[in-house]
Amino acid sequence: MGGTTGDGEDGHMGRALVLGGGGVTGVAWELGVLAGLAARGLPLDEADLVVGTSAGSVVGAQVRSGTPLAELYEAQLRPPRDELPARLGLGVLARWAWAGSWGRDAARARARVGAMALSARTPSEQSRRAVIAARLPSSQWPAARLLVTAVDAASGEFVVFDADAGVPLVDAVGASCAVPGVWPPVTIGARRYVDGGVRSPVNADLAAGYGQVVVLAPTVAAVGPAPRLPAQVAALREAGARVAVVSPDRAARTAIGRNVLDPARRAASARAGFAQAAAVADEVAAVWA
């Protein structure tokens, strides 16, 4: 069971918003940027296509729910309650890098990361699913186009879930957010899935065919044969798209800190994103208008 596979094009001209991975602070920063841009007359949530990877899948589902961006932003400023902090420690990163850096076969490299994820000690799927469900304003797929990325833990196959995939939105987002070694792989049908960032932290190439593309990328780090964001952006531009890429500036990086999975850094990350929107608004407007 799953959505479309591979790196396919959509074939439409229009506007696409691509939201990359980056933990709970990435969710907050992206929502801050989006709210700040909307306050300046740039409502990116009205895109024809939204692509979400990991943290970006949470933001994508939130902004496609119809909830006003200002409300989503304000929610990030509230003190965290029942969410426990986690840590993407050096040990996990090292195992991920080692597993994913062998050879040039991207699917096999992803499968090695998936095997590491399947063998890791993590919280239960049920408890993690409840956390993901609590983050989503709606459990239903939106009518507007939303793509959510994941990776089959056993085969390494890149999978893109959408409203036609027959997969609950909560499970699709949970799979996209299943950081190997930190959170449990998500069971969908007979398969188990891990974070879409295992393939690429951004997966901007899924916006192929769209003429105006804005990418919010809290992180661009990739290992092994994973597609790199600069190459993805270059391909989009070569095909005729106007593309703007926004990543955290110095103030935002300071607010985010070293642990992107710490809910205590959420409010500061959101405020930094909102502030950064002022600096990038002209660049984004040149693409979006």
Size of the chain, expressed as the number of residues it contains:
289
CA distance 72 to 34: 10
Amino acid of residue 191: R
Any catalytic annotation for residue 195?
A: yes
Any catalytic annotation for residue 54?
A: yes
CA distance 186 to 200: 18
Q: How would you class 247 by CB atoms within 10 Å of its CB: exposed for 0-12, middle for 13-18, buried for 19 or more?
A: buried
What are the backbone angles phi and psi of residue 260, rounded to the nearest 5°?
-75, -5
- H/E stretch holding 286 reads helix 266-288
Both structure tokens of 263: 């809910």
Question: Is 29:252 a contact under the CB 8 Å cutoff?
Answer: yes
What angle, 0 to 180 degrees and rounded to 10, lies between the N-to-C axes of helices 106-119 and 90-100?
140
Q: What is the DSSP string of 160-195?
A: EE-TTS---HHHHHHHHT--TTTSPPEEETTEEEEE
Burial 69-101 (b: 16+ CB within 10 A, else e): beebbebbeeeeeeeeebebeeebeebbeebbe
**DSSP character for 83?**
P
Question: Of the listed 10, 45, 171, 195, which one is catalytic?
Answer: 195
Residues annotated as catalytic are: 54, 195
